[in-house]
Structure formats: C-alpha cells, structure tokens
Homo-oligomer: A and B are copies of this chain.
C-alpha cells in the first residue's frame, strides 16, 4: 500500500510551482515573451565557459575507472582538499579535507546538517522570511521547525522573539544570508549578537547549539557589498553551500557542507554525514560533477545581470510608491503589497500577466517576492506594466 503521508502531500502543491505552471500555460496562449514570469528562482545566465571546458577535459583525459569510480563514502578526497584550500584562502579559516562533505546542492547539505546535529524531538529555529522547503528538510528528520517572526522592516533578526523561543530543546539554528526571499544580507552586528546569544545559551543548557548557515547566494551581492562569513563569528557553524546559483548549474545538484574546524567533533562529522547518506541511499554526489567542483571551486558565471535587474526594479517600484528594501544580494526583491492581503494583490497582478509570489509561504504575509532572474530586456518591458497595474488597481 502506498504511504499515505506522501500521497497526501501530492495535493499540497507549492504556490510558487503553481504560479510558474500558470505562467507557462499562459505563455502558450499569448507567447511566453508576454508573460512577466517572476515566480521561480532559476538562474538566467549560463554556466561559465570554464565549467564546460573543465568537464570536457576531465572526460577526455582522465582514466575512466578513476573518473567514474566510487568515491569513499565521505566524498572524493582530492575535491574535498581543493575546496578546503579554496575556502581557507578566502576566509582565513583552516579547513582541511575532512571538514568538507560534498552534497547534492544546499538541499542535501541542509538535510544532512540537520540530521547530524539533532535527535528526533529536538527543535530547529528558523527566521522568517525563509525558503519554504526548510519545512520538509527539518520536519522529515523528526526534529521540529520553530519559526521566529520576521523583523520588520529591515528583515534582520527579531532577537526578542528569538530569545524567547530558545530553550533546552533547541539543537540548531538555521539562517540564510543573503536571504531568499528578502534579498537582505545579515550585518556583522546581527551575526555578532546572534553568536553571543548562542554561546550564552549553549553554556546555560550544557550542549552546543549548532548554527547551520545556508549560503547559496553568497556570490550574488550588490553595490560592492561584502557578505560577512558566518563561520567566522561562531565555532559550531556548518556552512551549507550550493553551486546552483553562482555557477548556474542547479540541475547538477552540487554543493558541500563546510564544518568549522573549531566545531564540536569537527574531524568526525564527515563520517557522520556519510552514515546519514547510507540510510537515505543517497551516498555521494555524482563523481564527475564533484571533480569539476574540485577543479574550479571559485569560478562563477557572469552574475552582473542580477544587479542591473535589481536597479531597474528597485527604482521603478520605489517610484511607484512601494515600500521596499534595496536588496543587498540574491536575485529577489521583496516589496510590501499595496493591500494587506498579498494573495489578493498578486491575483490582481496576474490580470496584467505579472506573475508575483505572495510571501505567505515565506512567513511574511503582506509582502511579495519578485525573482528577477530573467532577461534585462524583459524586466524593462515589465516596468510600464507594473505602472499600469498599480494605477488601475490602487489609484
């Protein structure tokens, strides 16, 4: 008999997915170029040329037994060492190969990290607004997600609510900066205060609260900003990274967990992650893609289009009277809707073929997300449509 829990999940399609499917269907009616589909966070620039060159070189020149062979269960040793060296150079933390565990993107990284540092029944705190897939990543381990309400209007951390929610049951805290959906980068001040609280409470409770830091947008920042590196602020940090956005290879499912060498049991954690993989039958990511990662750990696509698009949208939305933070990074902008009910707002926008995502699923009702990973030309064409929509519906 089919598992009823999973079967019942089939009804609950994600809102983002539904909107994206609507946009595709509508595109078939009126031409996809006429649908301003801002629903999905799917990179809109190609992988860097060096990605292709490296993969072809490995295929053409490597011994196929070595290229396609089993990795040890803790991951491909040379690729681990190369990623560790690249991170050490960049952030001045002394990562060794054993601190890097290759994963199937950030999703695999987060799900492994949560399983490694929780026991069923433990709590994991996240901060609104957050990526809704965190819910299955956490709850399917047997741990329980606890949601700290958003800190309006800057979308840093609501420390008051956070401190109230902390208890002995909390095993880990999961953050995401640069943030999907808000586009906000947590400031040094935010990270210092967060780390202080975690150290204090870890001491009080007699166990280390782990900080799981989801950083797939680390390379996409605007206005010359720097993203403070979370692991520098707190020893027990598991950094979850994905190449999906920075190298535009989301289908290749490649990323890693970087364990801060100062964390509890840091040298053993890759072996713990490997045990978790056994139970889900996942094992290591694909060998060839892992080896490409090892060859070009710091390569990125040309990401400049995202800043161009952000500037266009930020200026236009501000001009139209939206309340909106200027995004620090990511390819999202996160304005307040023009009525309290963001779902109604986004439904009205659909009449103009503007596909926007209400932020209820991100636990920030009243806001909506624009994923501006699209051609700049299309962003430009959408601006008068936004104007028409706002003037017709809200003036």
Contact = CB atoms under 8 A, between A and B. Distances in A.
A153 interface: no
Interface in A248-264: 248-254, 264
A335 interface: no
Contacts of A250: 68-70
A252 B288 contact: yes
A52 B64 contact: yes
B56 A60 contact: yes
B279 A137 contact: yes
A112 B279 CA distance: 11
B136 A265 contact: no
A275 interface: yes
B108 A248 contact: no
Interface in A38-78: 42-44, 46-47, 51-52, 55-56, 59-60, 63-65, 67-71, 76
A392 interface: no
Interface stretch (A26-34, A84-92, A266-274, A338-346): A266-274
A118 interface: yes
A264 B6 CA distance: 15
Residue of A63, A71, A283 with most chain B CB atoms under a 10 A cut-off: A283
A281 B76 CA distance: 20
Nearest to A10: B271
A3 B278 contact: no
Number of copies: 2
Interface in A287-301: 287-289
Nearest to A70: B250
Nearest to A253: B286
Nearest to A76: B251
Nearest to A142: B142
Interface string A1-13: 1111111011000
A288 B68 CA distance: 13
Given A1-B117, A248-B68, A286-B251, A136 B279 contact: yes
Residue of A46, A67, A280 with most chain B CB atoms under a 10 A cut-off: A280
Residue of A1, A5, A42, A117 with most chain B CB atoms under a 10 A cut-off: A1
A317 interface: no
A254 B208 contact: no
Contacts of A280: 108, 111, 140, 280, 282
